[in-house]
C-alpha cells in the first residue's frame, strides 16, 4: 500500500507549506498515561523487529530507539510503501499520532499533517460522486413547487423568492450534502405532511415549544415524528383540513 504524508495546510502568508530545504520532524511524545507514544502494538513491534533485523526489544516503548526516532517531512510529500518494513514502521507510528490526520475526511484543526491513501481517497470520492449524481437526477425531476416544499423542510422560507433563487438555493444544499437531500426529501415518505407541519409552524398556526407541538391548546405531538403521525392519522383528518384551510388563508 502506498500512502502519502503531507502538510495539512499551507502558510497563509507564504502560500506554501514549507520552504525548500526546510523540514519538520515528527517524533514520539508522552501520552497522558506517561508512556511514550510509538503507534505499535507489542505484536507489531516483535514482527517489525524481525523484519528489519533489530534485536528483540528494540521497538519497545522503553527502548532508547524512540529518543531519536522521527519522520522527516519537507516541502514535497513523503511517500511510504508499507511493503517495506521501515515504511510500515513509519506508517504505524504516524497513523494514530496526535498531530497527524488519517485521511482527508478526518482532518481537524489540531492536525498539522495528513496521511493520504490515494486509492482509498479515490474510492471515497467516487462513492460521494455517485450519490451526487443520483441526487441531481432526482433534483432534475422536481417541479418548482416541489423545490419550494423541499426548501421549507430544510428550514428555508421560499414563498416570496424568485424561481431562480429557489432552484439555486436547493442546488447548493444538495451539492453540500446529497445524503441529507435523500433523507429529507427523496426517501422521506412523510415529506408532504412534514411540509404542512413546517408551514403551519412558520405561520403560527401550530406552535412548537421545545419538542412539544400545539394546535391551539391541544398537544398534537411531543416530537416531530409524533406530530406527523397525528396529522397522518385518519381520525384526525378534520383537524388536518382545518390547518390546511388556515394555511391557505394566510
Side by side, which strands form the sheet with 113-117?
A: 78-81, 2-7, 113-117, 100-102
φ/ψ (deg, to 5) at 66: -80, -10
Sign of CA pseudo-dihedral 21, 79, 73, 51: negative
Q: What is the pLDDT of residues 64-98, one digit of tens each?
A: 999 999 999 999 999 999 999 999 999 999 999 99
Pairing between β-strand 212-215 and β-strand 206-209 as defined by DSSP bridges: antiparallel
Set of cell numbers at residue 182:
435523500
The answer to whether the CB of 113 falls within 8 A of the CB of 101 is yes
Buried b (16+ CB within 10 A) or exposed e, 121-135: eeeeeeeeeebbeeb
What is the C-alpha separation between 67 and 127, in angstroms, rounded?
A: 42
* CA-CA-CA-CA torsion sign (241, 242, 247, 249): positive
pLDDT at 212: 96
Single pTM value for the model: 0.60
Q: What tens digit of pLDDT does each residue of 121-157 get?
A: 777 778 889 999 999 999 999 999 999 999 999 999 8
* Mean pLDDT in residue range 6-11: 87
Amino acid at each position: 500500500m502506498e500512502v502519502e504524508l503531507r502538510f495539512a495546510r499551507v502558510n497563509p502568508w507564504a502560500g506554501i507549506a514549507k520552504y525548500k530545504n526546510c523540514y519538520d520532524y515528527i517524533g514520539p511524545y508522552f501520552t497522558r498515561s506517561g508512556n511514550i507514544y510509538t503507534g505499535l502494538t507489542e505484536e507489531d513491534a516483535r514482527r517489525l523487529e524481525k523484519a528489519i533485523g533489530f534485536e528483540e526489544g528494540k521497538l519497545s516503548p522503553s527502548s532508547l530507539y524512540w529518543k531519536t526516532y522521527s519522520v522527516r517531512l519537507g516541502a514535497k510529500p513523503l511517500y511510504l510503501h508499507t511493503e517495506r518494513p521501515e515504511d510500515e514502521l513509519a506508517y504505524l507510528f504516524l497513523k494514530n499520532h496526535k498531530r497527524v490526520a488519517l485521511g482527508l475526511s478526518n482532518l481537524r484543526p489540531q492536525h498539522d499533517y495528513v496521511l493520504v491513501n490515494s486509492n482509498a481517497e479515490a474510492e471515497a470520492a467516487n462513492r460521494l460522486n455517485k450519490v451526487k449524481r443520483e441526487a441531481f437526477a432526482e433534483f432534475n425531476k422536481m417541479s418548482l413547487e416541489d423545490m419550494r416544499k423541499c426548501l421549507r423542510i430544510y428550514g428555508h422560507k421560499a414563498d416570496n423568492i424568485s424561481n431562480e433563487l429557489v432552484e439555486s438555493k436547493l442546488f447548493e444544499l444538495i451539492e453540500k450534502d446529497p445524503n441529507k437531500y435523500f433523507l429529507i426529501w427523496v426517501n422521506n415518505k412523510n415529506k408532504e405532511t412534514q411540509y404542512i407541519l413546517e408551514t403551519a409552524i412558520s405561520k403560527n398556526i401550530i406552535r412548537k415549544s421545545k419538542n412539544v407541538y400545539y394546535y391551539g391548546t391541544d398537544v398534537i405531538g411531543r416530537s416531530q415524528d409524533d406530530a406527523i403521525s397525528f396529522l397522518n392519522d385518519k381520525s384526525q383528518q378534520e383537524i388536518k383540513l382545518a390547518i390546511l384551510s388556515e394555511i391557505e388563508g394566510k
